[in-house]
Amino acid sequence: PTANIGVVGLAVMGSNLARNLASREGNTVAVYNRSRSKTDELVAEHPEAGFVPAFSYEEFAAALQKPRTALIMVKAGAPTDAVIESLMEVFEPGDIIIDGGNSLFTDTIRREKAVRERGFNFVGMGVSGGEEGALHGPSLMPGGPDEAWVTLAPILRSIAAVAPDGEPCVTHVGHDGAGHFVKMVHNGIEYADMQLIAEAYDLIRRGTGKTPAEIADIFAEWNTGELESYLIEITAEVLRQVDAETGKPLVDVILDSAGAKGTGAWTVQTALDLGVPVSGIAEATFARSLSSHREQRAVSGGLPGPAEDAFTVDDANAFVEQVRLALYASKIVAYSQGFDEIRAGAAQYGWTIDLGAISKIWRAGCIIRAQFLNRIADAYAAEPNLEVLLTAPYFVDALGRAQGAWRHIVGTAATAGIPAPAFSSSLAYYDGLRAKRLPAALIQAQRDFFGAHTYQRIDKPGTFHTLWSGDRTEVEAEDTH
Ligand code: NDP
């Protein structure tokens, strides 16, 4: 056998990762795909890669040095299970099977257990960066056993993206499903980031009447400051793009109905199960759903709203700066919520996850790569057990600078009838955290009224119930647990 690693599944992601692997010193890559044509094409188009093609699982196993290492890049779900099963039939105990697809972390936990029981090592690995990342350097989020990480670390470090300080964007995230969990939250944060940028664009456009090309210049300018990030950068490029057919800005001829492949929804569903308020990510996910309900929007256009002239901006430059600050503050909230979910997931599933290390491996290769992630890394370096990310001194300072503008923009959007769900829910979350006292006390009383759910008091220990349907005296409740 000549290959030290193999890739199964040669669609865009698998073939680009295979090419990336083959381009690194010392690697020989075996490749296999269910339908032969993809293998033939890849090998023919990239003779420089020196691929070892296999046309059956037996040939694939025979091509790999022991312990064998196989990276699966096929459709998530049943296809992944089918490929794992086929590999176990031809592999031997001690071999390593990596799933680099977008698998749900609970599937990864299940698979890791089943594969481990049969003596193999299983690594669920989040891969971010799309096809370009796969080819030139993705951000990699491997989970799985420590033993597999020892073998994989040099290979994964060699193909990962490199952060500005020279660090490769890969770390052993944690055991079993930890890698796919963190990748899921990465995607949730990506949803929030994109929605916030879209809201900023919409407010500027409707508030100042600037053209998409003019707004592109604003984003390009923002990309030189604290908002510097891949998503801001590509937004400028998108807004500058002109449709060849109509001569209009491309953004004006694209149907305003956003798609989703489900990872945002997973992040929100998981957060609901864990009881983590990722409201910014949730609003971003729901905003995509709302946009895609074209039938509902079609019958709702006549709903009453503010007068057309309710939105006038006197000083366009000042307004743009306020939007920038609102965007930055909301972005801090989105990341704080995302890291909160990772913390809660780690506690629930027994993973040890270094949050600072996660922020560092997102600095290059992935879609949410941003300068800002260095600030998060600094925050966790100073205080590894930070309870709430946005309470780190740097963020407190940034929020202090931004909060006035943030409130103004959310208020302006509401008055003008412009939806800004992610801006406003982020602000509500911020004010909820800040509040000395929340109306949750009233909710507890209501729950006690209709369901005898009991409450606790601020002035003495114990659990209490008011006899609402009796004489309304308070009694100490039996501990129902
Ligand atoms: P696809 O998700 O489109 O999957 C196509 C590949 O899966 C083909 O190689 C196909 O083989 C194979 N496949 C499907 N069903 C089976 C099966 N039952 N048995 C064996 N092989 C099967 O490919 P992508 O390259 O887009 O993505 C691969 C994985 O990476 C997915 O899990 C995706 O979610 C994830 N991912 C994708 C990113 C992206 O930007 N596209 C980014 C990060 C992760 P055949 O040619 O025979 O049909």
The answer to whether 33 is a known ligand-binding residue is: yes
Q: Under DSSP, is residue 193 helix (H, G, I), strand (E, B) or coil?
A: helix
CA-angle at 344, arms to 479 and 462, nearest 5° = 20
Question: Using one digit for the tens of pLDDT, what is the confidence trace for 425-439?
Answer: 999 999 999 999 999
Ligand 1: residue of 74, 107, 127, 159 to mutate (most ligand atoms within 8 A of CB) is 74
150 CB-near residues (< 8 Å, 6+ apart): none
Looking from the CA of residue 128, the nearest atom of ligand 1 is: 43
Q: What is the pLDDT of residue 311?
A: 81
Q: Percent of the chain beyond pLDDT 90?
A: 97
Nearest to 419 by CA among 212, 203, 205, 210: 203
CA–centroid distance, 75 to ligand 1, in Å, is 4
Mean pLDDT of the 287-315 span: 92
Q: Establish whether 245 is a catalytic residue.
A: no
**For residue 392, what are the CA distances in angstroms to 75, 310, 380, 384, 389?**
39, 38, 8, 11, 6
Position 275, amino acid: G
Q: Name which residue sits closest to atom 13 of ligand 1, judged by CA.
A: 74
Position 399, amino acid: L
Q: What is the pLDDT of residue 308?
A: 76
Q: Establish whether 190 is a catalytic residue.
A: yes
Confidence band of 378 (pLDDT split at 50, 70, 90) = very high
Q: Name which residue sits closest to atom 1 of ligand 1, judged by CA.
A: 75
ipTM: 0.98
CA–centroid distance, 284 to ligand 1, in Å, is 26
Confidence band of 481 (pLDDT split at 50, 70, 90) = very low
Report which secondary-structure segment, H or E, holds 127: strand 121-128
Q: Name which residue sits closest to atom 20 of ligand 1, judged by CA.
A: 34
pLDDT at 480 over 70: no
pLDDT at 309 over 80: no
**Euclidean distance between CA atoms 380 and 232, whole angstroms:** 25
Question: Using one digit for the tens of pLDDT, what is the confidence trace for 33-91?
Answer: 999 999 999 999 999 999 999 999 999 999 999 999 999 999 999 999 999 999 999 99
Question: Using one digit for the tens of pLDDT, what is the confidence trace for 150-162?
Answer: 999 999 999 999 9
Q: Annotated catalytic residue: which of 38, 41, 167, 183?
A: 183
pLDDT at 330 over 70: yes
Looking from the CA of residue 38, the nearest atom of ligand 1 is: 46
Confidence band of 312 (pLDDT split at 50, 70, 90) = confident
Mean pLDDT of the 223-227 span: 96
pLDDT higher at 186 or 310: 186
The answer to whether 128 is a known ligand-binding residue is: yes
What's the first-to-final CA gap in the chain, in angstroms? 61
Q: What is the pLDDT of residue 479?
A: 61
Q: By CB neighbour count within 10 A (0-12 exposed, 13-18 middle, 19+ buried), where does 290 fall? A: middle
Ligand 1: residue of 8, 10, 13 to mutate (most ligand atoms within 8 A of CB) is 13
The pLDDT mean for the chain works out to 97
**Euclidean distance between CA atoms 452 and 433, whole angstroms:** 28
pLDDT at 340 over 60: yes
Q: Percent of the chain beyond pLDDT 70?
A: 99
Mean pLDDT of the 370-378 span: 94
Nearest to 343 by CA among 187, 141, 189, 181: 181
Mean pLDDT of the 290-305 span: 96
Query: pTM of this prediction?
Result: 0.96
Q: Residues lining ligand 1, judged by CB closer than 6 Å?
A: 9-14, 33-35, 38, 73-76, 79, 82-83, 101-102, 127, 130-131
Position 198, amino acid: A
